[in-house]
Amino acid sequence: MVGPSRFMTLVSVFELGIVDRLRATPGLTAAQLAEAVGAARPDAVEQLLFLLVKEGFIAQDETTGGYRLDALADVAESDLKRALSYMNLIKVTALRQLFYLTQSVRTGTVVGLKELYGAEGTLYDAVDDHQDLNDSWLTLMNTVTANIDPWFFANVDIPPGSQVLDVAGNTGLGAIHTYRHKASPGLRVTTFDLAHKETEALANFKAEGLQEHLSFIGGNVFDEIPRGFDVALIKHFLDMFDKADVLTILKGVHTSLNTGGTVHILVPVYPEDIKEAGNYNVDFFPAFFLGAAMGQGGPQKLSTYQSWLEEAGFEVTAALTKDSSEIPADVIPVQAILSATKIA
């Protein structure tokens, strides 16, 4: 019940710059902080900081009333930056939109985007037209990709000289990462996504000097996926859809691969024991996908994705969930890699 107010109290203390001020000058009082960060009322700063004192993030000296960073003093800059990216994403793309969650579930559309932005489609459509959504989304996605891609490529096999298709590869970042991590003579990576992304993708390839090794094909995964590939990558994509659409995509990829070819999937997963403590994936993703991003979709358990791969004609050869001890406490998604081979 206190979820939204706890969340925004914490976000606000950062947004106001109170944490930065206390890092620079420990011991400031509520009145001094209010003046420094441009808050209208000292009492308001004191009110917000009650929660941070409760949580041990900030400490207050009972005699002087001055505040200093407590647990927050020990958080590494990079960890804090990542956590703030997540919090900003949730604030900008979800907090208000989730007010309409019930209507979103009724209609299967993101009613919050329509109500707040007049946007008819998904969050991924809306980011093209709305700078605030785009900033929030892109900042997080870049953070996530930078953190997870090294792990992904360290755990998938892409044989030398492979013809690789990056399914729904957006503007080519996945293709670039594939080449950087898995370069081999003859390796060729093709980004497959909506045609309007081609210009930017090609520009990205050229900026990296990889235009000879990377290419772009425009199209829609629900129409027809180009054929003749040895390896297909599906990263950050399957969790956007309901089962029927996931199967359509997997069957399309199955058709697109040469016999013996392999698909590698990167996707967040729910724990097999849904009650697993310390795992917050079901606390976040259903509401986010249904009410803020897609009007459908959401991750599944690893075992569910395995069975869907089999249903699409694949043999699953590897299924690896990122070890929770390697995931910082502020990161919600627990990512997994599924590798599967087209056997016939």
The binding site for a second copy (CB under 8 A) comprises 1-9, 11-12, 15-16, 38-41, 43-45, 47-48, 50-51, 53-54, 56, 83, 86-87, 90-91, 94-96, 98-99, 101-102, 105-109, 242-243, 270, 274-275, 280, 282-291, 295-298, 330, 332
d(CA 94, CA 280): 16
Residue-wise over 247-261: b if at least 16 C-beta within 10 A, else e?
eebbebbbebbeeeb
**Residue whose tokens read 């070819």:** 261
CB nearer to a second copy: give 47 or 184.
47
Question: In terms of residues, how long is the chain?
Answer: 344
Q: Which two tokens stand for residue 103?
A: 């209507």
Least separation, in Å, of the C-beta of 107 and a second copy? 6
Do the Cβ atoms of 10 and 72 come closer than 8 Å?
no
CB nearer to a second copy: give 173 or 246.
246
CB nearer to a second copy: give 40 or 344.
40
Least separation, in Å, of the C-beta of 332 and a second copy? 7
Least separation, in Å, of the C-beta of 269 and a second copy? 12
Least separation, in Å, of the C-beta of 30 and a second copy? 11
Least separation, in Å, of the C-beta of 48 and a second copy? 5
Do the Cβ atoms of 94 and 137 come closer than 8 Å?
no
Least separation, in Å, of the C-beta of 54 and a second copy? 5
CA 134, 137, 143, 147 torsion-angle sign: negative
Coil, helix or strand at residue 231:
strand
CB nearer to a second copy: give 208 or 242.
242
Do the Cβ atoms of 268 and 281 come closer than 8 Å?
yes
Least separation, in Å, of the C-beta of 239 and a second copy? 10
Strand 67-69 with 58-60, pairing: antiparallel
Coil, helix or strand at residue 58:
strand
CB nearer to a second copy: give 78 or 107.
107
Least separation, in Å, of the C-beta of 207 and a second copy? 34
CB nearer to a second copy: give 102 or 184.
102
**Residue whose tokens read 């007049």:** 118
CB nearer to a second copy: give 181 or 251.
251
Q: What is the DSSP string of 148-163?
A: HHHHHHHTS---TT-E
CA 119, 125, 128, 133 torsion-angle sign: positive
Q: Which two tokens stand for residue 336?
A: 């997994």
Q: Which two tokens stand for residue 320?
A: 């690896």
Least separation, in Å, of the C-beta of 162 and a second copy? 33
Burial of 9 (0-12, 13-18, 19+ CB in 10 A): middle
CB nearer to a second copy: give 104 or 256.
104
CB nearer to a second copy: give 37 or 217.
37
